[in-house]
């Protein structure tokens, strides 16, 4: 099971964490894992490039763990852009959860 935890403060995403494995198919054919990975890494890469910032990123050595925190130093314009990108990520993850809830759950804190 992949657990997604989204951390918000004042209705803004401050961080998110992915942990676990979907195990929805054999290694290399796990579509849920591939979808979650593509959506989350795509969003992280978009924030880094379009907001011209580094993120606090922690990854598990063998996969199955990703923690990303936005820097507090983002100006208002870049924070708005980052929020839009991350909200898009959440919508995509919710779509995966809707169809594959036995393999992914999203939590909000």
Active site residues: 21, 33
Note the Cα 100 to chain centre separation in Å: 16
SS3 per-residue string spanning 29-81? CCHHHHHHHHHHHHHHHHHHHHCCCCCEEEECCCCCEEEEECCCCCCHHHHHH
Query: How many CA atoms lie within 13 Å of 95's alpha carbon, on the beta-carbon side?
Result: 9
Contact 40, 93 (CB under 8 A): yes
């Amino acid at each position: 099971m992949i657990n997604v935890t989204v951390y918000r403060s004042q209705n803004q995403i401050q961080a998110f964490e992915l942990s676990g494995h979907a195990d929805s198919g054999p290694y290399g054919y796990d579509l849920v894992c591939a979808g979650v990975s593509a959506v989350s890494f795509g969003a992280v890469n978009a924030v880094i490039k379009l907001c011209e910032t580094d993120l606090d990123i922690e990854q598990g050595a063998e996969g199955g763990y990703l923690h990303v925190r936005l820097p507090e130093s983002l100006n208002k314009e870049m924070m708005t852009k980052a929020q839009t990108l991350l909200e898009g990520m959440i919508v995509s993850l919710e779509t995966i959860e809707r169809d594959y809830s036995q393999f992914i759950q999203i939590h909000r804190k």
